[in-house]
Amino acid sequence: MKALVTGGAGFIGSHLVDGLLGRGHSVTVVDDLSTGVCDNLAHLQPDEPLEVIVDSVLNESLVDELVAGADVIFHLAAAVGVQWVLDHPIRSLETNLRGTEVVLAAADRHRRKVLVASTSEVYGKNDSGPLREDDDRILGSSKVSRWLYATAKAADEALALAYAQERGLPTVVVRFFNTIGPRQTGRYGMVVPRFVDQALSDEPITVYGDGQQTRCFTYVGDVVRSVITLTETPACWGDVFNVGRDREISMDGLAQLVVDLTGSRSKIVHVPYDEAYRGGFEDMRRRVPDVSRLRRTIGYAPDTGLEEALFRIIAAHPRQPSTFRVP
Ligand SMILES: NC(=O)c1ccc[n+]([C@@H]2O[C@H](COP(=O)([O-])OP(=O)(O)OC[C@H]3O[C@@H](n4cnc5c(N)ncnc54)[C@H](O)[C@@H]3O)[C@@H](O)[C@H]2O)c1
């Protein structure tokens, strides 16, 4: 199989490339390196069937050509990270709306299978317990920049599903919940790499808000396994799947776990949202996926424990702790 991975030099994309190559597929990556880096693919051997093209998914003629040459497209390219999106709102909207339009239109012309990466952010402020794919989205005002990422991703989902319904195009939408693993950068607001960087430098670990808000963290290897299996499962086409692990932890609990695992001397400090981000930032107290649809469809849902995932992240970090508690 020939796979096209947009955003393949990013965090999840590069692990997906590893997974596809490991299964004997050939892979083309298109990535503009806005948040991704070629280093994420540097461990791969030169004789692997991998081609990396540094360009944008907004380049329509290029995308048309690449889609024509692929059997399946994994569309992961996007402006990602709360901080990055807040700093670049126009570019984020352009990439996340127009980029997906370009990819889906090309897939339709060439009748190719497409997986579109979406996000648990589309549920917005709905924090009502395990979230099912058909649950309501509760978004704040369009004047609050926080919601522009969710708005664009929800439009991507609607477009992918419209192609499936109206044109019979095999499309599938995956909503990733907080995905973690080696190669994820803390630069754009991702919490786990930020906490690990701070702990390994013995700097204060900065928890935003009161630290009682909870999230569920999923190991990237589990995410890769889920998305590849979905594209091999005809029953998934035209549908939406939560991809995540359904164990919750508070941000205070996460910070303490990182301190314990690294043996860090870091103190845990709380920073109000208005100081961490621009004023008017909104957040949700909890966000838990219901993964029963994923489990029913592919017979599997992510299950790597948080301690194990953190262990792998810390082990891959360039700065190593003096003591390291193996879970
Ligand atoms: N990491 C998570 O927890 C998470 C959660 C929900 C959804 N997602 C989604 O998963 C996908 C991958 O996210 P990630 O965490 O690996 O982030 P990432 O920033 O590491 O990956 C995104 C990649 O897309 C590339 N890119 C951005 N604009 C592009 C453009 N115009 N053309 C080509 N490439 C472009 C970036 O350079 C980067 O390599 C994204 O679609 C994101 O919305 C991620």
pTM above 0.75, yes or no: yes
Q: Give first-to-last CA distance, the chain, whole Å.
A: 37
Atom of ligand 1 nearest to the CA of 94: 31
**Best residue among 5, 6, 12, 191 to mutate for probing ligand 1, ranked by most atoms within 8 Å of CB:** 12
Q: How far is the CA of 78 from the centre of ligand 1 (A)?
A: 4
Which CATH code, of 3.30.565.10, 3.40.30.10, 3.40.50.720, 3.50.30.40, is assigned to 2-179+219-243? 3.40.50.720
Query: In the annotation, is 149 catalytic?
Result: yes
The CA 150 to ligand 1 mean position distance, Å, reads: 14
Q: Output b/e per residue, 267-303; b: 16+ Cβ within 10 A.
A: ebebeebeebbeeebeebebbbbbbebbeebbeebbe
Name the residue ranges covered by the structural domains of the chain.
Answer: 2-179+219-243
Closest-lying ligand 1 atom to the alpha carbon of residue 121: 6
* Nearest atom of ligand 1 to the alpha carbon of 76: 41
The per-residue pLDDT string of the chain (327 residues; one tens digit each, 9 = 90 and over) reads: 999 999 999 999 999 999 999 999 999 999 999 999 999 999 999 999 999 999 999 999 999 999 999 999 999 999 998 888 989 999 999 999 999 999 999 999 999 999 999 999 999 999 888 999 999 999 988 988 889 999 999 999 999 999 999 999 999 999 999 999 999 998 887 999 999 999 999 999 999 999 999 999 999 999 999 999 999 999 999 999 999 999 999 999 999 999 999 999 999 999 988 888 766 677 889 999 999 999 999 999 999 999 999 999 999 998 887 766 655
Tell me the C-alpha distance between 151 and 96, whole Å: 10
Compute and round to an integer the Cα radius of gyration of the chain.
Answer: 19
| Whole-number Å distance between alpha carbons of 212 and 209 | 8
182: number of Cβ within 10 Å: 18
Nearest CA to ligand 1 atom 26: 77
**Active site residue: 149, 188, 208, 219, which one?**
149
Count of other CB atoms within 10 angstroms of residue 148? 20
**What is the best residue among 39, 76, 94, 172 to mutate for testing ligand 1's pocket, by most ligand atoms within 8 Å of CB?**
76
Q: How many CB atoms lie within 10 A of CB 89?
A: 13
